[in-house]
Amino acid sequence: MNIDELAQRAGEWLSGTGPQSDIVISSRVRLARNVAGFPFLSRASESQRKELLRLLCNTISNTPIGSRVTFFEMETAHRLDRQVLVERHLISRQHAGGQGCRGVAVSEEETVSLMVNEEDHLRIQSLRSGLQLGAAWDEVGRLDDAIEAQLDYAYHPRLGYLTACPTNVGTGIRVSVMLHLPALKLADQMHKVFRATRDMHVAVRGLFGEGTEALGDFYQISNQTTLGKSEEEIISAFEGSVIPGIVKYEKRARELLVNERPALLDDKVFRAFGVLENARAMSTEETLALLSHLRMGVNLGRVSEININTINELFVQMQPAHLQKLKGEELTPEQRSVIRAETIRKRLSRDN
Amino acid sequence: MNIDELAQRAGEWLSGTGPQSDIVISSRVRLARNVAGFPFLSRASESQRKELLRLLCNTISNTPIGSRVTFFEMETAHRLDRQVLVERHLISRQHAGGQGCRGVAVSEEETVSLMVNEEDHLRIQSLRSGLQLGAAWDEVGRLDDAIEAQLDYAYHPRLGYLTACPTNVGTGIRVSVMLHLPALKLADQMHKVFRATRDMHVAVRGLFGEGTEALGDFYQISNQTTLGKSEEEIISAFEGSVIPGIVKYEKRARELLVNERPALLDDKVFRAFGVLENARAMSTEETLALLSHLRMGVNLGRVSEININTINELFVQMQPAHLQKLKGEELTPEQRSVIRAETIRKRLSRDN
């Protein structure tokens, strides 16, 4: 598997088939780990980074999924290839834009990615469509065990796993769930989510995590504490109350729109549809915003001629790097804008 | 003919059949006249106004078009009926909203309207589609002669016709041409028009004349001086140089769009088309702006499935009062917005 092939297809989490996928786009669990006997990366020499990359790649190869992962080296990878991995949420923006020897191992179905030499020596991530935190946690846990069986992690008997940033110390776990909340946004009720999550020590962020905006009404909900609670407690709080609570808000907002403000709802949905079907130039931001409204329309049965998979695919493939991969060449923002609009028109008319 | 019938159909100037109608919407000539022996309206008593209305209605009835005009009294007319007349440019906003005894005579084809007791005792207007100032002037001149044969106008041997506002003294003529200038607007070149017209003592105004905005890229070009030039000189300057000059700018801007920025052009045109075909609620302002882009698209051959007449009709019939007449009931702005979008969808899909 190479990045070009990856860019053309939809991984598991893009399929939009998981539980509650009308609102829950994806579930992610990641662990931050460091190898005992090596300094944190901020103090590591280039040869220590190289040694870590070699060691961790070997270790990953010897896990049960070792034969089903592909390694990508970031230092030699083309800028577009790194950007594709970011757009698919397989690596962080920091990892793509970083310096020095670093890499990522990605499983066939893209449910697992392991970043080496990002902020920590190792970040183990499982990403699944819909609300599947339990499955994601099982996968990450099994991998973590398989790796720990081969090497020693930096671990402190009282603090737990040691990490480069103190916010990750302890379990090293970050749980994040990507939600699609167009009705709450449309009804101007996102403050309900912000209020509820603040009390639960949960962060609400944009499409690409920390410091990014909520493009296309997508919000990432993630835990803020990694210390003092077990992984299972965090997962079960997310799956049992945090996420269901927000999902309930969004469902209620959708019901209210359908029952009490159908003209407003349809106006948003069909305007988006009309512009997507007709525009000749479109930015990524506008595309996400319009696809978001169309997605809500399809999920609420207001639009029947478009397949939800088409929309889920477009969300990923209309991003800048994916679009350039699709076209097979580097493009200026203006060129992308025209090709993006053209591609969307074609895809939608294929369904329609 | 009553206002309800009027609202349903398209008069001559709405047909969009006149010369250069891709850019020139309509040509209007109006004369301001006052009857000798009566004070200007600002000083007239209600009984004098009544007397004037009676006298001028009789006089109009005795002109060659007398048997083909309908009189509407403004004082007793329903607010919506008055608004329909404004939206068709048959009376001014001031006349619709004014006080006291006043009226308007409208010819069958709506090429002629005669307002009684507006700012002056009499305003004789001819309105025609496309660039037809000569024909409009002939019609107005004939009517003016037929009226003057029956009564004395307030006239000063040196100043000419006396009018309530000094800006009309002399010939009392106002020539205005409504232009559709979407390409100049889109290319951000309207300053060319403003600069050129400033030097020619010509005013550029919005859709409903003085003090109104240029909705939907429509601009009214009119003369500012009525004194020291003959009617024929003013008409011939407009028809021979002022209007052709602006039309040339717009044509050049359209050519540039077609040849050098077709993606920008089509993006505007097809977005407008897509929204018009899909929106579920739409204000008058947005409708005008979108129809303007669609009209340009049809005129430039970018959109072939829509008939230009459909667009011309929608321009008039989607205005608030027309829409309520069409629906046969008074509607709130919210209700209008929904019905407007619905009506536009139906009309466009009939063509498409």
Two tokens at B282?
Answer: 């739409």
Interface test with B, best of A278, A290, A300, A336 (most B CBs within 10 A): A278
In the CATH hierarchy, which top-level class contains the domain A3-254?
A: alpha beta
3-state secondary structure of A115: strand
Report the chain A residue with the minimal C-alpha distance to residue B270. A278
Residues B18/B35, Cβ–Cβ less than 8 Å = no
Residue B185 CA to residue B246 CA, distance in Å, equals 12
In A, which residues are within 8 Å of B271 by CB distance?
Answer: 275, 278-280
Angle at A288 between CA A283 and CA A292, to 5 degrees: 150
Nearest residue to B97 (alpha-carbon basis) of B123, B75, B121, B73: B75
Q: Do B279 and A273 touch (CB under 8 A)?
A: no
Provide the percentage of residues in chain B whose pLDDT is more than 90.
80
Residues B146/B63, Cβ–Cβ less than 8 Å = yes
Sorted by where each begins, the domain ranges of chain A are 3-254, 262-351
pLDDT at residue A211 in the model: 58
Query: DSSP code of A66?
Result: G
In A, which residues are within 8 Å of B264 by CB distance?
Answer: 280-281
Interface test with B, best of A268, A269, A270, A345 (most B CBs within 10 A): A270
- Specify the long-range contacts of residues B300-304, CB closer than 8 Å, at least 24 apart: B300/B254, B300/B257, B300/B258, B300/B265, B300/B269, B302/B265, B302/B266, B302/B269, B302/B270, B303/B269, B303/B270, B303/B273
Q: Look at residue A227 and tell me whether its pLDDT is greater than 80.
A: no
Residues B341/B286, Cβ–Cβ less than 8 Å = no
Q: Look at residue A196 and tell me whether its pLDDT is greater than 90.
A: no
How many Cα neighbours within 13 Å face the side chain of A62? Answer: 13
In B, which residues are within 8 Å of A277 by CB distance?
Answer: 274
A145-189 per-position pLDDT tens digit: 999 999 999 999 999 999 999 888 889 999 999 999 999 999 999
Two tokens at B58?
Answer: 């009789």
pLDDT at residue A209 in the model: 62
Touching check for B275 and chain A: CB below 8 Å? Answer: yes
Min Cα distance B258 → chain A (Å) is: 14
pLDDT at residue A272 in the model: 97
Query: DSSP code of B10?
Result: -
pLDDT at residue A45 in the model: 95
Q: Which residue has the tokens 């978001």?
A: A292
Q: Do B280 and A273 touch (CB under 8 A)?
A: no
pLDDT classification of A43: cutoffs 50, 70, 90: very high
Min Cα distance B328 → chain A (Å) is: 21
Q: Do B278 and A280 touch (CB under 8 A)?
A: no
- Rounded to whole angstroms, the maximal C-alpha distance in chain A is 64
Touching check for B342 and chain A: CB below 8 Å? Answer: no
In B, which residues are within 8 Å of A260 by CB distance?
Answer: none
CB atoms within 10 A of CB A270: 23
Residue B118 CA to residue B103 CA, distance in Å, equals 8
Residues A48/A34, Cβ–Cβ less than 8 Å = no
Touching check for A270 and chain B: CB below 8 Å? Answer: yes
> Which positions of chain B have pLDDT values less than 70?
208-214
Residue B331 CA to residue B323 CA, distance in Å, equals 9
Report the chain B residue with the minimal C-alpha distance to residue A277. B274
Identify the bridge partners of residue A108 per DSSP, sorted by sequence position.
none
pLDDT at residue A150 in the model: 97
Task: Go through chain A and tell me how many residues it has.
Answer: 352
Residues A146/A122, Cβ–Cβ less than 8 Å = no
3-state secondary structure of B127: strand
pLDDT at residue B344 in the model: 97
3-state secondary structure of B116: strand
Touching check for B75 and chain A: CB below 8 Å? Answer: no
Q: Which residue has the tokens 């009308």?
A: A22
Interface of A with B in 158-217 (CB under 8 A): none
Angle at B323 between CA B319 and CA B327, to 5 degrees: 180
Task: Go through chain B and tell me how many residues it has.
Answer: 352
Listed in sequence order, the DSSP H helices in chain A are 3-8, 46-61, 79-87, 93-97, 133-148, 182-186, 190-199, 231-237, 243-260, 262-278, 284-299, 308-317, 320-327, 333-351
Q: Do A275 and B280 touch (CB under 8 A)?
A: no
Two tokens at A22?
Answer: 């009308």
Residues B127/B142, Cβ–Cβ less than 8 Å = no
3-state secondary structure of B175: strand
| Number of inter-chain CB pairs under 8 A, A vs B | 48
pLDDT classification of A18: cutoffs 50, 70, 90: confident
pLDDT at residue B205 in the model: 85
- Specify the long-range contacts of residues B73-77, CB closer than 8 Å, at least 24 apart: B73/B101, B73/B102, B73/B103, B74/B98, B74/B102, B74/B103, B74/B104, B75/B100, B75/B101, B75/B102, B77/B3
Nearest residue to B153 (alpha-carbon basis) of B161, B141, B164: B161
Q: Do B281 and A270 touch (CB under 8 A)?
A: no
Among the partner-chain residues A277, A281, A338, the one whose CB lies closest to the CB of B274 is: A277
pLDDT classification of A5: cutoffs 50, 70, 90: confident
pLDDT at residue A214 in the model: 65
Q: Do B275 and A275 touch (CB under 8 A)?
A: yes
Two tokens at A293?
Answer: 């409204």
Q: Do A278 and B263 touch (CB under 8 A)?
A: no
pLDDT at residue B206 in the model: 78
Highest mean pLDDT among A18-27, A210-219, A231-240, A250-259: A250-259
Touching check for B273 and chain A: CB below 8 Å? Answer: yes
Two tokens at A61?
Answer: 């190869």
Q: Which residue has the tokens 């005013």?
A: B203
pLDDT at residue A103 in the model: 97
Min Cα distance B166 → chain A (Å) is: 50
Measure CA A80 to chain center.
18
A237-290 per-position pLDDT tens digit: 999 999 999 999 999 999 999 999 999 999 999 999 999 999 999 999 999 999
Among the partner-chain residues B263, B274, B338, the one whose CB lies closest to the CB of A278 is: B274
Question: Which amino acid would we find at residue A124?
Answer: I
Question: Which amino acid would we find at residue B297?
Answer: G
Q: Give the residue-averaged pLDDT of A280-304.
A: 95
Interface test with B, best of A261, A271, A300 (most B CBs within 10 A): A271
Residue A249 CA to residue B184 CA, distance in Å, equals 48
Residue B219 CA to residue B292 CA, distance in Å, equals 12
Give the list of residues 6+ apart from residue A71 with CB closer than 8 angstroms, or none. Answer: A57, A60, A103, A104, A105
Q: Do A278 and B273 touch (CB under 8 A)?
A: yes
* 3-class SS letters over B181-243: CHHHHHCCCHHHHHHHHHHCCEEEEECCECCCCCHHHEEEEEECCCCCCCHHHHHHHHHHHHH
Residues A29/A125, Cβ–Cβ less than 8 Å = yes
Q: Which residue has the tokens 């608030």?
A: B320
How many Cα neighbours within 13 Å face the side chain of A28? Answer: 30
pLDDT classification of A215: cutoffs 50, 70, 90: confident
In A, which residues are within 8 Å of B281 by CB distance?
Answer: 263-264, 267
pLDDT at residue B287 in the model: 96
Q: Do B275 and A280 touch (CB under 8 A)?
A: no
- Specify the long-range contacts of residues B148-156, CB closer than 8 Å, at least 24 apart: B150/B59, B150/B62, B151/B35, B151/B36, B151/B55, B151/B59, B152/B35, B152/B36, B152/B37, B153/B33, B153/B34, B153/B35, B153/B36, B154/B33, B154/B34, B154/B35, B154/B36, B154/B38, B155/B36
